């Protein structure tokens, strides 16, 4: 799949609103992941897909599939794979509102927690760059402060050891 720019994502969300309007459905989308890094923080130019949760889930997903067919993008441009990493304490800010679609994005603190929990490394993954951006954006300079923030969203005993090691490396490298 070709990367989706901020403009691409906004266009697809507008088309999603059109599809929901045609179906007389009001939808709500909660964005996470790369789409938030593009749209809310302007921290990067593109993302591979739009990770989100949405309600009503079946109606929004069906509308997204119709958008995909019309806009010649993969069927799963909008997907809910991120639900594995959602916290019961997640915080979202309103990003846009249209006639039949409200879109919210995870706030910076919650994004840092999610990105840290999901930390993927290797070619094609931007989690480390996103985490570095969010740490700077939030003014976090120590592992203790980062863990304190992450602990507001997830139990720290569930924090993966590989993610802790990566966070320690990022923060020790960003000081010098």
Select from 31, 24, 25, 28 the least CA-distant residue to 9.
31
d(CA 72, CA 68): 6
Pair of tokens at residue 96:
């846009």
pLDDT tens digit string along 85-125? Answer: 899 999 999 999 999 999 999 999 999 999 999 887 666 67
| Residue 174: pLDDT over 90 | no
pLDDT tens digit string along 12-44? Answer: 999 999 999 999 999 999 999 999 999 999 999
Query: Which pLDDT belongs to residue 104?
Result: 98
**Domain residue spans of the chain:** 4-106, 110-175
The label of the residue with tokens 């985490």 reads: 131
User: How far from each other are the two terminal CA atoms of the chain, in whole angstroms?
Assistant: 38
Q: How does the average pLDDT of the chain come out, rounded?
A: 94
Rounded average pLDDT over 58-72: 98
Query: Which pLDDT belongs to residue 175?
Result: 41
pLDDT tens digit string along 120-142? Answer: 766 667 899 999 999 999 999 99
Query: Which pLDDT belongs to residue 126?
Result: 87
The angle subtended at Cα 104 by Cα 98 and Cα 107, nearest 5°, is 150
Query: Which pLDDT belongs to residue 53?
Result: 97
pLDDT above 90 covers a percentage of the chain that reads 84
d(CA 57, CA 175): 43
Cα of 97 vs its chain's centroid, Å: 18
DSSP state of 157: G
d(CA 126, CA 41): 14
Rounded average pLDDT over 138-154: 96
């Amino acid at each position: 799949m070709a990367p989706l720019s901020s403009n691409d994502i906004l266009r697809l969300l507008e088309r999603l609103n059109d599809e929901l309007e045609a179906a007389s459905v009001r939808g709500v989308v909660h964005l996470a992941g790369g789409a938030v890094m593009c749209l809310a923080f302007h921290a990067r130019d593109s993302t591979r897909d739009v990770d989100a949760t949405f309600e009503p889930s079946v109606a929004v997903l069906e509308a997204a599939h119709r958008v995909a067919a019309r806009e010649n993008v993969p069927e799963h441009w909008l997907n809910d794979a991120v639900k594995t990493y959602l916290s019961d304490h997640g915080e979202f800010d309103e990003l846009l509102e249209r006639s039949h679609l409200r879109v919210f994005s995870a706030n910076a603190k919650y994004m840092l927690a999610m990105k840290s929990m999901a930390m993927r490394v290797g070619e094609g993954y931007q989690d480390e760059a996103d985490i570095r951006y969010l740490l700077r954006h939030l003014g976090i300079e120590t592992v203790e402060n980062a863990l304190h923030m992450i602990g507001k969203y997830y139990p720290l005993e569930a924090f993966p050891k590989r993610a802790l090691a990566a966070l320690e490396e990022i923060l020790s490298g960003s000081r010098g």
